[in-house]
Structure formats: structure tokens, C-alpha cells
Structure 1
Amino acid sequence: MATPTGSGEHMAKAGAKSRRPGTPGRAVEATEATIDLDDPRLQTEAAQALADAARELFVRNGFSATSVSDITERVGMSVGSLYYHYGSKTNVYLAIWLKYQRSQEARSRETVLAVRAAGVTNGLRLFLAGTRAYLLGAWEHRDVVRMAADGDTPPGFGLRMRRINQDWFRQNSALLRENFNLSEDDDALGVRAMVAIVTDAMGGICREVAACATREEAEELVARGIDVFARLANAPAKTLY
């Protein structure tokens, strides 16, 4: 079952060049992800401490201005410990982002399942219920959203995000098409157009949600966004979630 997040984790296992401990010369940061969130090395307290420190520093100082030694000094570990657990500074960043994506996917999936269990079968309602959950998750993880929104990201990160959005587009187009039982070309094109618009808009709305001063403001902004999406589909927002 598709949810409005896409799944970026499969990309975290692609091959890449990264600096290993003891490698002479300048570090070559990964341009393709090499991190696997299920790697046992990432399940340790040390790995979590490194990620927490990196997350705080990336949010405050940006990716480029944060060094490996900045991260390890913050938690009293050696530089080698970061390379053992993550392989590179880029991979720490990606682990933080992919963990966020995993939590967002779970949040949206659980919401869609709950709405479906309540008897809703309409694809549009399922789609927008999951979208709403995803946007509210951006508030819960607003520091990570801000971390990526400032543009100071690892090389190739934008390409990964486009791939995630493409997966999101394909999965949710299928969800809507299946539940609407579309057969006419015009209807099919309408679904494609709507999902494309929502896909492109999601990043911007997530950034605005993350920038809200309070949860109440974030919830109102999300409600306004869902209302816009509902009107695109000529459906009352209050009937959709």
C-alpha cells in the first residue's frame, strides 16, 4: 500500500566512494548513499550519540561548517569511531534524514490503515489523510526539515530527494487510480496532474510547517494546505480525513 512519503531507504545501500580510517589525502564524501539503517553498527548507543550530536550541529552550523572532529569531540569519542559506525560525515547526515523519512512513512502508513479500517475506501481520502499525517510529522521533526531546507547539504542530496519524490509520485498515482477505478483518459490525467502538484508542493509546505512558531499554527497551515489539495479535486476538505 502506498503512502505519501516514498521510500528512500533502498537508496541507502547503493555503492559509493567514502573515506575510510587511515586513508591518506582529502576525504572524498559519498555522492551516493552507503548507509543502511538496519546495520547493527547503527543500533549501538555510540552510533546514536554521534547522530544526535551531528543533528544538532548540522541544524545550527550547516553541513559544510561541521567537521567530523566537531561531531566526535561533542560526545567525547575518537574520529575513528564515526568512520567505524558511519563511514563518512555524509553518511551521518543521510542516516539522520533517512531515519526521518522512515518515521514519516510509518506515520502516513498507520494513518492510511486507520482511515481504511474505519471504512474509507476512496483513494483521494486515503491519499490526503496520509498527506496530512506527513505534513504534521514535519512539525514534529522540524529541526531535520530545517537542516535540509537551508541548502547546505551533502553532494548529490538533491538528486536523492528527486528520486524519493518520483517514487512518491508513482506509488500514490497507483493508489488513487486503483481506488477510483479510472478508465477514461481525462480522469487518469486529472489524477496524474493532482499528484504531481501535491508532490512538488510538499517540500515547500513542509518547510513552512517547520518554520511555524507553535503547533497550533502548524496545524492550521496543514489544514489550509489540505483544503487547497481538496479543492483541486473538487472535494470538500472536511470529508477527506
Structure 2
Amino acid sequence: MRTSRARRAGGADGTENGGGRQWARADATRQALLDAALEVFADRGYADAGIAEIVERSGISVGSLYHHYGGKAGLYVALWEDLSAEQEAAAAQAVAAARKEGESDPIALFIAGARAYLRVCWERRDAARLFLGGEGPSGSSLMRRSRAQHWIAQNTKLLRGSSGEPPGRAEQVLSLVLTTVIGEAGREIATAENEEEASEIIEEVCRILIRLAR
């Protein structure tokens, strides 16, 4: 994403103009702050994490931190949104790829998305562990509930297939159960000892989801 931004800001000959360099610097600043915040949150927990340590690890000024994120809570929310967006994009891409290959079974499409989502839980395990732990700033519980409701709605729609009728109570409950299973599985995957163990958990979870969904 940072590369594409720089390209969009570049001159006609492909080189970066002044605006492009400013975008690149701003992106690098934000990323350094996010990387440092994730490290400190992981080491100390959100409550005990200090702005001073985040600034020290990032090498960025405290003024820049407040300019870009407004404080510790803003960093937490930005990390959360980044992980959530990556999980959602991975799931959507997996479903789209399965459809492109000719898959039309709603459950198979749902499993493709779930597998991709769970894979991100392993690939981004440091961030996933932080958020699955439940600690965070005021309002973070509401943020997580809102995201869960979004996922339930998306999964309900996917499992409904091409039917234009509104989902019944049984379908809504099924989507709730499946989404909850995926969320809890993400916690186990993020804390797996290695990639092999994580992959085994993912495949076992997918088998369980298939049985529940059918």
C-alpha cells in the first residue's frame, strides 16, 4: 500500500515529486509508530504500556505520535482496524477465488473464507494475541462487539447463498455459532507453538465448521 501511494504521488516520469516524498515519510512515520506500539502492548499489556517507551522504540517524536494517532488509544484502534481489514480482505479474496473456480456451494465458500481468516490469525499472531486477550482502551469492547456483529451478518449472507429471502432465526443462530467458533479458534491459532500446529488447528476447525453447517 505504501508503494502504491508513492507511485500515485510520483511525477509523470515515475519519480516521486515533493508530495510523494511527504506521503512516503508520513507512511513510514505511522508504520514505525504502529510497529513500536504493537511491541510495547505485547510486552507490557495495554494498561501498562507507556507513550514514552513507544516513542523510544519507534524513534519518532511524541509530537508526531499525537499528531497521527492522538495518543495510546488511537494507536490501539489503528492496529485493530489494520488487522481486521487484513482478515476481512483475506476472507473476501478467498471466497472470490473459489467462486472464480466455479464453486457455488455456500458452505464451501464459507469454509474458504473462514480458512483464509484463520490463516491471518497465525500470520499476524502478535496482533491477534493482543486483541484476543480482551484488554484495551475504553470502548474497545464495544468495538469488538460491533465487528463480531458485522462478521455474523456477512456470514449469514454468505451461507444464504443466492436466496433473496431474509434469514430465519435458525439461520441467524447457526451463523452466530459458526462465527463464535471461528473467533475462539483464532485465539488457539494465534498461540500455537509453530506453523505446523497452527495449520492442523485450522484444518480441524474447518472440518468442525462443515459438520456444524450441514
* TM bucket normalised to smaller: 0.7 to 0.9
One-letter amino acid of the structure 2 residue matched with residue 213 of structure 1: E
Unaligned runs of 5+ residues in structure 2 are 1-22
Q: CA deviation at 1:212?
A: 0.6
Which residue pairs with 1:130 in the alignment? 113
Which residue pairs with 1:166 in the alignment? 149
CA 105–43 in structure 1, closer or farther in 2 if over 3 Å, else same: farther
Which residue pairs with 1:93 in the alignment? 76
Which residue pairs with 1:155 in the alignment? 138
In 2, Cα distance between the equivalents of 1:60 and 1:201?
28
Q: CA deviation at 1:43?
A: 4.7
Q: Is the 8 A contact 2:32 2:60 kept in 1?
A: no
Which residue pairs with 1:176 in the alignment? 159
Which residue pairs with 1:21 in the alignment? none
Which residue pairs with 2:188 in the alignment? 208
Instruction: Give CA deviations for 1:175-203 in whole Å, capped at 9, x if unaligned.
Output: 22233x386x9x94443222110122222
Where in structure 1 do 4 or more consecutive aligned residues deviate above 6 Å? none
CA 167–228 in structure 1, closer or farther in 2 if over 3 Å, else same: same
Q: Is the 8 A contact 2:155 2:179 kept in 1?
A: no
Matches for 1:1-241 after TM superposition, within 5 Å? 43-179=26-162, 181=163, 188-234=168-214
Bigger helix share: 2
Instruction: Give CA deviations for 1:39-98 in whole Å, capped at 9, x if unaligned.
Output: x69952111111111111111111111111111122233221100111121011111111
User: In percent, how many aligned pairs have the same letter?
Assistant: 36
One-letter amino acid of the structure 1 residue matched with residue 64 of structure 2: S
Which residue pairs with 1:238 in the alignment? none
Q: CA deviation at 1:127?
A: 1.1
**Count of residue pairs the alignment pairs up:** 192
Q: Is the 8 A contact 2:189 2:198 kept in 1?
A: yes
Tell me the TM-score normalized by structure 2: 0.83
Tell me the TM-score normalized by structure 1: 0.74
Coordinate RMSD, CA, aligned: 2.0
Larger RCO (alpha carbons 8 Å, 6+ apart): 1
Q: Is the 8 A contact 2:128 2:190 kept in 1?
A: yes
In 1, Cα distance between the equivalents of 2:89 and 2:171?
24
